[in-house]
Chains A and B, each alone.
Chain A
Amino acid sequence: NAGVTQTPKFQVLKTGQSMTLQCAQDMNHNSMYWYRQDPGMGLRLIYYSASEGTTDKGEVPNGYNVSRLNKREFSLRLESAAPSQTSVYFCASKFGNYEQYFGPGTRLTVT
């Protein structure tokens, strides 16, 4: 089992560019999440998906879109990147009322 995988690991974008962060899990989990982590702040939820075909906004959704492509994959898209979106992005998944499993993170810098 690879667990939760994320690509890419690092990315540098110019302001206004777009990109998609990919996340996949092979644990047959129903729920998937996207978080961002900024210095001095706790992890903050961007979007989540309770099951295939459903997505909901979290605490900081502005500037992002998501797609739950199938049960395994949950992608996060930045349509027009801004310096304020410089952050480390984590994808996570879970089954039922159990703990979340986190991916290794994507470090994104927007210049």
Chain B
Amino acid sequence: KNEVEQSPQNLTAQEGEFITINCSYSVGISALHWLQQHPGGGIVSLFMLSSGKKKHGRLIATINIQEKHSSLHITASHPRDSAVYICAVHENYNTDKLIFGTGTRLQVFP
């Protein structure tokens, strides 16, 4: 069964800083997901990626399949980016059941 580790668990930043959140997993996968959980509790999917890099606005997600590692970057961080960021991977190649990390809590101060 896949295991997912995220780091750091908590992160504080000043507005404008470049943010990096890391995710490592133990078993080869078909895809990795990054999700954002707002302070109010709602969860939205940010990225689903199986190789390389994806960009959406100020968010960039990268994945290294050989090293079983992914990073989520936020450029020019803003207080509205304050949220919990969650990494999730498929349990194994043969299922679409997801295993979730415990999340990284980000606070961006003005």
- Which chain A residues have a beta carbon within 8 Å of chain B's beta carbons? 31, 40-45, 48, 58, 88, 90, 92, 94, 97-102, 104-105, 107
Q: Are A98 and B48 in contact (CB under 8 A)?
A: yes
Find out whether the CB atom of A105 lies under 8 angstroms from the CB atom of B102: no
Q: Which partner residue on chain A sits nearest B34 by CB separation?
A: A99
**Docked complex Cα distance between A105 and B4 (Å):** 23
Chain B residues near A102 (CB-CB < 8 A):
35, 42-45
Q: Which of A41, A58, A100, A105 contacts B42 (CB 8 A)?
A: A105
Instruction: Determine if B86 and A43 form an interchain contact, defined as CB atoms under 8 angstroms apart.
Output: yes
Residue of A44, A88, A98, A99 with highest tally of chain B CB at under 10 A: A99
- Nearest first, the 10 closest Cβ-Cβ pairs linking A and B are A42-B100, A99-B45, A102-B43, A43-B100, A99-B48, A42-B102, A105-B41, A42-B101, A104-B42, A45-B97
Picked from A41, A58, A88, A98, the residue with its CB within 8 Å of the CB of B97 is: A58
* In the complex, chain B residues 63-110 whose Cβ is within 8 Å of any chain A Cβ: 86, 88, 96-103
Residues of B near A98 (CB, < 8 A) are 48
Q: Please, which residue of chain B has its CB at the minimum distance from the CB of A101? A: B45
Q: Which residues of B contact A58 (CB under 8 A)?
A: 97
**Known interface pairs A31-B96, A99-B48, A100-B98. Does A42 touch B4 (Cβ–Cβ under 8 Å)?**
yes
Chain B stretch 18-59: residues in CB contact (< 8 A) with chain A = 31, 33, 35, 41-45, 48
Cβ contacts under 8 Å, B88 to chain A: 42-43
The distance from the CB of B29 to the nearest CB of chain A, in whole angstroms, is 12
Residues on B with beta carbons closer than 8 Å to the beta carbon of A101: 45
